Every structure is written in C-alpha cells, then in structure tokens.
Amino acid sequence: MWRCVIIAMNDSQEPFTLPVLAAGLVHEVKNPLSAIHLHLQLLENQVLQVEDEELRAQMKRRVEIIKREILGLNQTLQEFIRLIRSETRAIAAAGLNEIVEQVVQLLGPQAGRNQIRLETNTGAVPDHLQMDASFLKQTLVNLILNSIQAYETVDDNRDRLIVVTTGTENGRFFLRVEDNGAGILPEDREKIFEPFFTTKVHGSGLGLSLVRKMMMEMGGHVDLVSSPGKGTRFTLYFDGAVKALPEPAEIQGHEAV
C-alpha cells in the first residue's frame, strides 16, 4: 500500500508536497487506530473480570496480540513519516557512549525476551561530541531492532549475541552493531536499504532506510558486512560530521549558592 502511495504522489503534477500528503494519510490512519486502542483498553479491563480462568487467559492472549499489532502499525506510521520528511536537526553537545548505554538499557529487556545477550564495547570516544542526540538514538534503536529480528529464522543452539561498539578509526568516530544472526544474502544486500524491502518475518522494511537517510543527513555513511547464516555487521562512520568539542572549562572562584 505504502509503495503505491509514494509512486502515485511522485508521479502526480499537483502542487502539493510528498510530506504534506503523507502527513495527511498518516493522520487519517492514526485516528481510527487510536479509537481501536482506546476500546481495546476498555476490553482489557473487562477481560480481568471474567471468572472462568481458562477463558480469561485465552481472551487476555488475544488482547495482547491485538495490542502488539496496533503498536507495530503505529511504529510503521512513524517510520514512514520520518522517512519522507526533512527535519531540522538539534545539534548540541552529547556523549556517544552515553547514548549507547541509554539505548542498550532501553532494548535490553526486549533482547532478553528473545534469548539474546545485548552487550557494549565502548571505546575511547570524547564525552562531548557535536551531534543530534535524538537523531542518533533513533538510528541506533533501528539497528539493534534489526539485529533482534535477525534471529527470527535462527533455530539452532548458537549463543545469540548483539554487540554495540564505539571507537575511532582513521580519524573518524564510528558506531558498530554486530550480531551472529541469520545474515543477509548477497542478492539482498543491494536492496536492504530500499524502503519497504524486508527479509524479516516481522518489520515494515523502513528501519534500515531510515538509518541510511539519517546518516546521509548527518554527513556520514553506513558500511555493511554480512555472511549468510553467520551474522551481520553495520558500522556508522561519521566522516567528520560529528566533531569533538572542548571539555567544559572549570569556573574558578565561583561557588553555586
């Protein structure tokens, strides 16, 4: 559906912009979705009052499935609107390693539920870098979620592991996410960053498109190395777009009151 919408809007000669139309479309979808979610919450409360324990458990499972699908659709809508609109970046001092720790803390439970260890290997990166922290955080979230999904088709007893690494390489700061999941077939590597292309059981096919878009807007690039059946490594190189800032100078002879 989304692919058809984009093609139609790009081919049209009408004096409107793609982001404006997309925002309108998302709005039209989100309104009924919000109503569904509201009524689902009411239904969830009623389910708790069902006396039959077996029936209550069955209804609760079905409610959870609906809730999960609603959340997934909401995420797809948000990714879609982010993919096609230009945003003003809020550049400020932020710590790359601090962002990594925040995201790993956020997604650690989800990885754990999928029997995946999510670990960090943070290198010697300055604490104060000139970057859009929110922007980078979303990029890292997308990469880790992609790695979590990479284990959906893995049915062996391998030690499931995702490692997030930071450091400096040839004068450039980098951020790397590596897993030992299903890997990507050679014929799919050229298409992996295309909108709506996905090899996953779940997923919109927009996450990696967003990663590439965000890195291009930051003046960086994404490097992909993958081996089918063995795993995938995504490395974000910032190419000077993210610069180290001087450490905050200590204020002498001043006491906070």
Buried b (16+ CB within 10 A) or exposed e, 57-83: eebeeebeeeeeeeeebbebbbbbbbb
130 in the same domain as 48: no
Tell me whether residue 178 is in a domain.
Answer: yes
Those residues with Cβ within 8 angstroms of residue 243's Cβ, 6 or more apart along the chain or in another chain: 129, 130
- Which pLDDT does position 23 carry in this prediction? 64
Answer for the pair 242, 218: CB distance below 8 angstroms, yes or no.
yes
Does residue 254 fall inside a structural domain? no
The residue written with tokens 């979303």 in the block is 138
Pair (98, 36) in one structural domain: no
Please tell me whether residue 183 adopts helix, strand or coil conformation: coil
Q: DSSP letter at 217? A: H
Q: Which of 85, 227, 252 lies closest to 150 in space, CA to CA?
A: 227
What is the domain extent for residue 235?
A: 92-244
- The confidence score (pLDDT) of residue 105 equals 92
Question: Hey, what are 254's tokens?
Answer: 């001043």
Q: Are residues 207 and 124 in the same domain?
A: yes
What pLDDT shows up at residue 253? 40
- Whether 54 and 104 map to the same domain: the answer is no
Instruction: Note the helical H segments in the chain.
Output: 2-11, 18-47, 53-84, 96-113, 133-149, 186-189, 207-217
Domain end residue (candidates: 57, 84, 111): 84
- Sheet (strand 243-244) strand order: 92-94, 129-131, 243-244
Helix and strand totals (H; E) in the chain: 7, 8
Is 188 in the same domain as 219? yes
Stretches where the chain sits below pLDDT 70 are 1-28, 79-94, 128-131, 199-205, 239-257
User: Could you tell me how many residues make up the chain?
Assistant: 257
CA angle 151, 156, 157 (to 5 degrees): 100
The pTM (predicted TM-score) of the whole model is 0.64
Do 80 and 97 fall into the same domain?
no
- 3-class DSSP assignment, residue 27: helix
Is the same domain home to 98 and 64?
no
